[in-house]
Homo-oligomer: A and B are copies of this chain.
Amino acid sequence: MTVSMGRALNQALADALSEDPGVLVFGEDVGPLGGVFRVTDGLTARFGESRVFDTPLAESGIVGTAIGMAMNGLRPVVEMQFDAFAYPAFEQITSHLAKMRNRTRGRVSLPVVIRVPYGGGIGGVEHHCDSSEAYYTHTPGLTVVTPGTPDDAYRLLRDSIASPDPVIFLEPKRRYWAKGELSGAAVPMDRALVRRTGRDVTLIAYGPMVATALETAEAAVEEGWDVEVVDLRSLSPFDDETVCASVRKTGRAVVVHEAAGFGGYGAEVVARVTERCFHHLHAPVLRVTGFDIPYPPPKLEEHHLPNVDRILDAVARLQWDDEVVGGYRA
């Protein structure tokens, strides 16, 4: 079945609501309106106001009450309307959602999913295009996942709802309308997937950049590079095994994300891949990321976002002419 990512998410919510009476969906405008991206379209009509409902406009309130509900045995799936509007909930997420299980020595589970449409590329104005993954991935206790395809949107959301741990579920909003097959195949939630095999260099991407990385790989064929693309899917925990196997094979890697580079998620990827694969690397692992600036206005965002050319450029800088294996240059 070919569906858009938005529909795949809607289907995942509907299936979870059908199968488990403890699942609730709530947030701002997720009820009759179906969410500003229509991800919850039709769910109130189908499951009723007590399972899918609008809340007062207060993100800390949404997450804080979700915590209370989860303590009382329910499985809330809440929506933050846009990335930057999750920040008012930061304290509840960081000090409670992430820490409750640890604090209580495992006695209190918080199976809460926080859906966050994130990233740019849709001509959105200020505060509507942040890539906030690094704030969450640095917070122990949170699971952070992000789909790059409709198929993963469906299964990662189902897995997130089923997870006993709180999950930050990052939805790449520019891919809501991108279509793909629902395979029905299961993939463990914490595993990365090699989306395209290649011998020369590994592109490590996630969420909105998976499609861009795959495009780059196609474009690279012309340049004579055989590019492998790894889709991380799970940002925390990180699948060292899959990523390092790829990088050890290719000896070169580029990490791609929309978020600002400085202190971004890519830094962790570079750091751990370098630690684990140092002697396999022909060149430092490079990053292609957003600039270290607030997300730009619509008319300028194209300059900020990683694109095929910029990724190809980084690939070109991976010291291809450096034939001395592990060569040392003063």
Residues of A within 8 A of B (CB): 60, 84, 87-88, 90-91, 94-95, 98-99, 102-103, 126-127, 134-135, 137-138, 140-141, 236, 238, 259-260, 262-268, 270-272, 274-275, 278-281, 283-287, 292-294, 325-330
How far, in angstroms, from A281 to B251 measured CA to CA in the complex?
A: 16
27 CB-based A-B contacts, threshold 8 Å: A84-B95, A87-B94, A95-B127, A98-B294, A99-B126, A99-B294, A102-B293, A137-B262, A137-B263, A138-B259, A138-B263, A140-B260, A140-B294, A141-B294, A262-B268, A263-B267, A263-B268, A266-B271, A267-B271, A270-B270, A270-B274, A271-B271, A271-B285, A271-B287, A275-B284, A278-B284, A325-B328
Contact of A327 among B60, B102, B279 (CB under 8 A): B279
Cα-based distance from A229 to B21 in the complex (angstroms): 58
Partner of A326, one of B267, B272, B327: B327
B84, B94, B268: which contacts A94 (Cβ < 8 A)? B84
**Copy count, this protein chain:** 2
Given A84-B94, A267-B271, A292-B140, the answer on whether A330 and B279 have CB atoms closer than 8 Å is yes
Instruction: Select the residue from A98, A285, A294 with max chain B CB neighbours within 10 A.
Output: A294
> What residues of chain B lie closer than 8 Å to A294, measured between beta carbons?
98-99, 102-103, 140-141
* A260 close to B326 (CB less than 8 A): no
> Closest 3 A-B residue pairs measured CB to CB?
A326-B328, A138-B263, A90-B90
> Complex Cα distance A88/B134, Å?
18
Distance in angstroms between the alpha carbons of A285 and B266 in the assembled complex: 16
Q: Please, which residue of chain B has its CB at the minimum distance from the CB of A260?
A: B140
Whether the pair A286, B275 counts as a contact (CB closer than 8 A) is yes
A138 touches B134 (CB 8 A): yes
Known: A236-B263, A279-B330, A325-B328. 7 other contacts (CB 8 A): A98-B294, A140-B293, A140-B294, A263-B267, A271-B274, A278-B281, A278-B283
Chain B min CB distance to A68 (Å)? 18
* Cβ contacts under 8 Å, A236 to chain B: 262-263
Cα distance A266–B286 in the bound complex, in angstroms: 16
**In whole Å, how far is A94's beta carbon from the nearest beta carbon of chain B?**
5
Residue of A275, A285, A286 with highest tally of chain B CB at under 10 A: A275
Inter-chain contacts of A259 with B (CB < 8 A) = 138
A263 with B262: CB separation less than 8 A: no
How far is B274's CA from A285's CA once the two chains are assembled, in angstroms? 8
Q: Of B94, B99, B138, which one neighbours A264 at CB under 8 angstroms?
A: B138
Given known A-B contacts A88-B91, A268-B267, A286-B275, A262 and B140 have beta carbons under 8 A apart? yes
* A95 CB → nearest B CB, Å: 6
A103 contacts which chain B residues (CB < 8 A)? 126, 294
